[in-house]
Amino acid sequence: MWSIDEILRKDNFNDLSKNDLLDIILILRNDLKYYKYRKDANHEQVAATISSLKSQLEQKTVEVVKIKQSNDNIRNKVMRPLTILERIKGRIDLKN
């Protein structure tokens, strides 16, 4: 039975029989399948990480927009000019 290291270190395959060459081909084919599987698994893991990070980013963006709207509403309520009714009731003008 051949190992991958032995196959990669061998330079001349002329002295091998057909059965040995077929064994080498099968070993290399299986190793290639395993390599593709590892590569695909890594790609899927990275894609899952990217999608989760994108969803977190979208959530944070929505939170930021809500907080900005809340801040704008509070600022508009505090900084707006007083109405006549508020002046009559004696509300303090925060601008002066």
pLDDT digits (tens, 9 = 90+) for 33-70: 999 999 999 999 999 999 999 999 999 999 999 999 99
More confident residue, 93 or 83: 83
Verdict on whether the full-model pTM lies above 0.75: no
Determine if residue 90 is left, alpha or beta; phi over 0 gives left, psi from -120 to 50 gives alpha, anything else beta.
left
Cβ contact 84:73 at 8 Å: no
| Residue 96: predicted pLDDT | 47
Cβ contact 18:40 at 8 Å: no
Worst-scoring range by mean pLDDT, 15-24, 58-67, 71-80?
71-80
Cβ contact 1:23 at 8 Å: yes
* Structure tokens belonging to residue 14: 């002329």
